[in-house]
Structure 1
């Protein structure tokens, strides 16, 4: 876990934040239409007003690759993290020109690089559609509930976004089914890389420093949104403010936290602790080993596998940290007590029944079908293409309300873009991922299991992966486009081995989805709505929902913490990076930093920490001061923030930020980009 350990004393402190209705200090990932103005006013003596929140919302950006960002100029310039553009840089790299190793500093806007599969989205409206969804669900249960809900969602999204070329609509479930909101977005499907430092500058300290602090990482990059081949003109953007942060000053993080499980019941948490987390950490550890071994075969493989390896190592730290938190006996007991507190306060609410028992029943049923549902589709980009083509051929022939999620009118533009954008595919990496996932399926399901026989036939996992990857033509976007445009007839006639394989497993995947909906998803949605009623009855409506990769705002302040009796300073300086450097990976100083050492202002604040409440998905979120200007970009949390999946730890949970001052230094003297500097200054 790196420098800091997750210990029992920390877990105890965290539990008080987990008590439902007890919102401590700076806890909360709040929706922008329900910001806790009174609470912040009481905590800080000031809170943003409606116009302030509206301006910030209009400048906040969601990246479909799983990150957050913000507009920082009127010409479509977007600030985010370097690790949010790694895939784009790698997709545009070759053996002759490695933009990860060297960085990317274009001389002209015409040289900015398209990012395959990337889309930028800005929320323009949030509408309560709870009544419509609940009316459609009525008294239904199981699969019928899921089908009715999804059909109504498709109708609402279709009505909300008639122009799917420029807008996107998404109905989001909040409080486990207690509320539903329609989020309407303006979308920009042409996103290009505008500036990125060397990989080593952004990832100084590598995996050992990940989720740790102090940090000396320039984890920042710029994208640009285009429309019809020209930079987008935006009216709402954040003022760039490359000043040093001040200890104790209020800060806001506005972004799209991915998901949290703070409202889970004890049975749901037990499933994570006993089943999903142990399985995930075990099999990801093996994939990491397989990948490292394959990357050692050549310099080219090391370059091509770098982004995938980083993602695996990052995920392992997250899942191991979560498992440790849930296995802490004091932490676990307090979670049980918190759930009991809510039950007692909710009392005998009319019509409540026993949603805890109903949730437990659904989770028990899910345990029986979890393994085949998890393993039925092998891993890999190429397999994903095949699955989309096969499913899409059938789904697009159906009425909009009857389609699977991902293929409704509101989703189809992005699904098509993801499928058809030209991005490099590395066959060796595809074979590693597919062979690994098939071998894990056989291991956990058993060699004689019907699903194992369906997936493998008489072949070994590795031989099957080699045959399918070696024989497919789906790496070519023109081939994918021909199959997509040709629809069912083209897909059914295809002899491409991956298409043939996807057709073979598709029926079983659909059957498993039906079982999951009937026994788990439907019952959870029905019980979740009643759990939300109990929560509101116990603690009122001034609480925040679990994260859903939709726009949220958190407030906090610049503040360090005490670690094993020692005060951790809230800021690092650029000079500290040189002091920390050892000359050996991953603590070798980046070449650009070494070359510009004499010019760098060593006193410039590099990274800093705040008490803002964030989670994965917030990467790239602007860190905003009271005036509404951006003073940094959130790129990580400290080791204690991993437990933030289940609860906020007021005394130690910290957001790690790269300062705008450090980025400005980089733009001026380390990786010079004078045109961007002028643009950020509004000149």
Structure 2
């Protein structure tokens, strides 16, 4: 489940188009197969038209881009002229849980609305539409010339902030973001139209959306109605969205061309061998071990009662999904054949660079530079991870406290950034204190374990208390669950914060150490990595040209492919499942028990309707909720997963095996008609 100079290739101000992308497992030459998450300003229109006989043009790209929506961590699309948004259920389940209570478990029972008045706001959710792309590579690269370490980071950050502030000019309806592409080879300003009133319209029952649970996750066949609807509002009224995708209630056919429009989160296909090896040998193992133990603690907590099970569902759901992704990534990086192929690609590029003395003179040896950086990163990673990167263990209250403390200590925070922080702190989000305490306790115990008892920073963290007692005292004593107190605290001085709340006092007492290791990481790892990566990117452009797609950066991308199954070890997997297959697969036991409404509707459902389908599109986490679009620009599904072979997709794409898993609009239509009667939604979607 799907929970960074290319100056010659684009004009200074580019029209916007397709999104996707990352480098494939093949050599970094013009893309083969259906690989690539392409930016809208460098989409291979002619390649696609020649391969599939389509007639894609700039106007088509603009229509699709204008309908694409970026959510918090997910993708989506407008599907009506009244701000209706299609995405995945697993992209809205956090909102559903926030709106639930012990008396009304909407995650379990589903969220149905008969009128607009029943649509409820999702705390903290935003919807963003990309409106403009501007190349700012020259500005960003120029400010770092001749600088190193902290000075390099400071100059670059200041210039990026200037670019963003100039572009948005303080308009709260805009979000301006400078995004790195090709690992620092190109920088572009992405300007988004932002909507911060997003309301929940429809979500099916958990068991319908996530039938098969974790055992079926990243697998196929699938029988999951992983779809949900939101609506964007402004000034209390639904947003007018004439740029939207037309709803096609018919299922695709095998071989049909498909386009996936969304915001793939992060890939690492352009990393060098030394970077991949440290990821394999240090970062992923630590991540897997900690995620596994945290999952165990959450599962044990969920067994303590019905309310605990309800509160723990979303955290466990996200953690299990992430764990399987990390496990798949580790599997790819420990595959000798895969790593041999990556090494061969790097050797080829380095040999071609070495054959060009002028290029060597310009870039030096960035691969050797990155090897040296990895040695530093190995030493700094654990304290950086425990004290800064993962501090708080995922506790929302801790994140509030750190944001407030750092705002109080900052003398140069812009008014716009302070206003943005204030708005975020004002969101009324339900806080599960048991889970907050569990997360904080776990982080404190792991930090003591990894950094050792005698570490001065650990001694400062714990004092004479145990992780368990300290976590209990901080969570029970804090007032940060109250938005009014958070707003009050944002205006306090550090001295006042220390007196006002125990969690604020705790963060304040330990923030200097956290900030110090964060600064060291930025100066000794991030800055030289950025420097060297720019040189590697320059080498790629010099050797292979500009017909390349960048690693994913949670920015709008477009991938192309076709509806197609696959064959592995003699077993052929067809591209479709059908609604009737749900009833055949159901066993009556979790996680293969039928959702109550589906059980009751069996006689009314057309069992021949295509339920889920697979295609060769290249996607990654962050693409969840992406509309699957046909050659006519109509939406025919919502991507929600990849198959098991796609788990190594962070590092490469295999066109023979990697598949995108989507729920069809045909199945969503049938469910809205026969299972969850929603005539209002069907009418808005233009379905008879």
TM-score where L is the length of structure 2: 0.94
The Cα of 1:415 is off from its aligned counterpart by 3.6
What secondary structure is seen at the aligned counterpart in 2 of 1:546?
Answer: coil
From 390, 398, 401, give the equivalent of 1:386: 401
Question: Does structure 1 residue 57 correspond to structure 2 residue 65?
Answer: yes
Gap change, CA 1:414 and 1:655, over 3 Å in 2 = farther
Aligned to 2:12: none
The Cα of 1:164 is off from its aligned counterpart by 3.2
- Report if the CA contact (8 A) 2:625-2:639 is conserved: yes
Partner Cα separation in structure 2 for residue 430 and residue 322 of structure 1: 29
Partner Cα separation in structure 1 for residue 57 and residue 495 of structure 2: 55
The Cα of 1:682 is off from its aligned counterpart by 7.8
Partner Cα separation in structure 1 for residue 23 and residue 99 of structure 2: 46
- Comparing 500-509 with 633-642, greater Cα deviation is found at 500-509
Partner Cα separation in structure 1 for residue 92 and residue 379 of structure 2: 39
What secondary structure is seen at the aligned counterpart in 2 of 1:515?
Answer: helix
From 371, 374, 399, give the equivalent of 1:363: 374
The Cα of 1:489 is off from its aligned counterpart by 6.1
Partner Cα separation in structure 2 for residue 571 and residue 491 of structure 1: 61
The Cα of 1:16 is off from its aligned counterpart by 7.7
Partner Cα separation in structure 1 for residue 23 and residue 63 of structure 2: 35
Partner Cα separation in structure 2 for residue 69 and residue 563 of structure 1: 31
The Cα of 1:163 is off from its aligned counterpart by 3.7
What secondary structure is seen at the aligned counterpart in 2 of 1:576?
Answer: helix
Aligned to 1:629: 634
Question: Does structure 1 residue 448 correspond to structure 2 residue 454?
Answer: yes
- Report if the CA contact (8 A) 2:143-2:156 is conserved: yes
What is the root-mean-square deviation in Å for CA atoms of aligned residues?
1.6
Aligned to 1:398: 412
Partner Cα separation in structure 2 for residue 34 and residue 418 of structure 1: 34
Partner Cα separation in structure 2 for residue 270 and residue 393 of structure 1: 39
1:108-135 Cα offsets, whole Å, 9 max, x none, are 1111111111110000001000011111
- Comparing 186-195 with 329-338, greater Cα deviation is found at 329-338
- Comparing 44-53 with 663-672, greater Cα deviation is found at 44-53
Partner Cα separation in structure 2 for residue 392 and residue 49 of structure 1: 47
The Cα of 1:352 is off from its aligned counterpart by 1.2
Aligned to 1:45: 53
Give the number of equivalent residue pairs: 660
1:381-403 Cα offsets, whole Å, 9 max, x none, are 100000011112233x4164xxx
From 295, 303, 314, give the equivalent of 2:302: 295
The Cα of 1:37 is off from its aligned counterpart by 1.4
1:150-183 Cα offsets, whole Å, 9 max, x none, are 0000000000001431001000011111100000
Q: Which runs of 5+ in 1 are unaligned?
A: 2-13, 401-407
The Cα of 1:462 is off from its aligned counterpart by 1.2
Gap change, CA 1:455 and 1:233, over 3 Å in 2 = same
- Report if the CA contact (8 A) 2:489-2:497 is conserved: no
1:595-650 Cα offsets, whole Å, 9 max, x none, are 11100000000000000000000000000000001000000000111111000011
The Cα of 1:74 is off from its aligned counterpart by 0.7
What secondary structure is seen at the aligned counterpart in 1 of 2:175?
Answer: strand
- Report if the CA contact (8 A) 1:198-1:590 is conserved: yes
What secondary structure is seen at the aligned counterpart in 2 of 1:125?
Answer: strand
What secondary structure is seen at the aligned counterpart in 2 of 1:609?
Answer: strand
- Report if the CA contact (8 A) 2:24-2:651 is conserved: no
Within 5 A, what are the aligned runs for 1:271-350? 271-347=278-354, 348=356, 349=359, 350=361
Within 5 A, what are the aligned runs for 1:153-552? 153-347=160-354, 348=356, 349=359, 350-376=361-387, 377-379=391-393, 380-395=395-410, 397-398=411-412, 400=414, 409=416, 414-484=420-490, 486-488=491-493, 491-492=496-497, 494-552=499-557
Partner Cα separation in structure 1 for residue 23 and residue 102 of structure 2: 50
Gap change, CA 1:383 and 1:553, over 3 Å in 2 = same
1:74-113 Cα offsets, whole Å, 9 max, x none, are 1000000000001000000001101001101111111111
1:320-351 Cα offsets, whole Å, 9 max, x none, are 11111101111111111111011122333131
Partner Cα separation in structure 2 for residue 16 and residue 84 of structure 1: 27
- Report if the CA contact (8 A) 1:240-1:631 is conserved: yes
Partner Cα separation in structure 2 for residue 187 and residue 490 of structure 1: 36
The Cα of 1:148 is off from its aligned counterpart by 0.5
- Report if the CA contact (8 A) 2:68-2:262 is conserved: yes
Partner Cα separation in structure 1 for residue 207 and residue 295 of structure 2: 20
What secondary structure is seen at the aligned counterpart in 1 of 2:512?
Answer: helix
Partner Cα separation in structure 2 for residue 680 and residue 532 of structure 1: 44
1:15-44 Cα offsets, whole Å, 9 max, x none, are 983422252210000000110112213322
Partner Cα separation in structure 2 for residue 302 and residue 417 of structure 1: 31
The Cα of 1:366 is off from its aligned counterpart by 1.3
- Comparing 493-502 with 126-135, greater Cα deviation is found at 493-502
The Cα of 1:491 is off from its aligned counterpart by 4.9
Aligned to 1:108: 115
What secondary structure is seen at the aligned counterpart in 2 of 1:85?
Answer: helix
What secondary structure is seen at the aligned counterpart in 2 of 1:171?
Answer: strand
- Report if the CA contact (8 A) 2:24-2:269 is conserved: no
Partner Cα separation in structure 1 for residue 659 and residue 323 of structure 2: 20
TM-score where L is the length of structure 1: 0.95
Aligned to 1:609: 614
